[in-house]
Amino acid sequence: MTEQRHNGVASDSYEQHMDVVEAFGAVVRAERQHRELTQSDLALRSGLHLQYVSKVERGQSVPSLTTVFALADALDLSVPALMERVVQKISSGRHARKQRLRLSFQLPSV
């Protein structure tokens, strides 16, 4: 059996990678909105380009470590606090996916 790959990365690893990227973006967006900042505000505070902030929030760009630090600082969070929120987001998303999968495989009552 051959392993499916995406750009040289095993499918399972790729899906986990995308879970992290999407969760990071969702957390950045939620934290920005919680602070009543616009994407422009966040871009100015972090020294990043507005379009790049938008791509990160949509999970369409993988931020570098430098970018993670810049965004955390712009959101008045420590990097560990920001990443803890990402881990929580990933965990809740996987739990919800498992629940949906479990429900979709339940047999109808007879």
Domain ranges of the chain: 5-104
Residues with Cβ < 8 Å from 14, sequence gap 6 or more? 5, 6, 7
Alpha-carbon distance 47 to 88, whole Å? 27
5-104: which CATH topology?
434 Repressor (Amino-terminal Domain) (1.10.260)
Alpha-carbon distance 36 to 56, whole Å? 18
Alpha-carbon distance 92 to 10, whole Å? 23
pTM: 0.75
Alpha-carbon distance 98 to 4, whole Å? 22
DSSP state of 77: -
| pLDDT tens profile 7-63 | 555 556 767 778 899 999 999 999 999 999 999 999 999 999 999 999 999 999 999
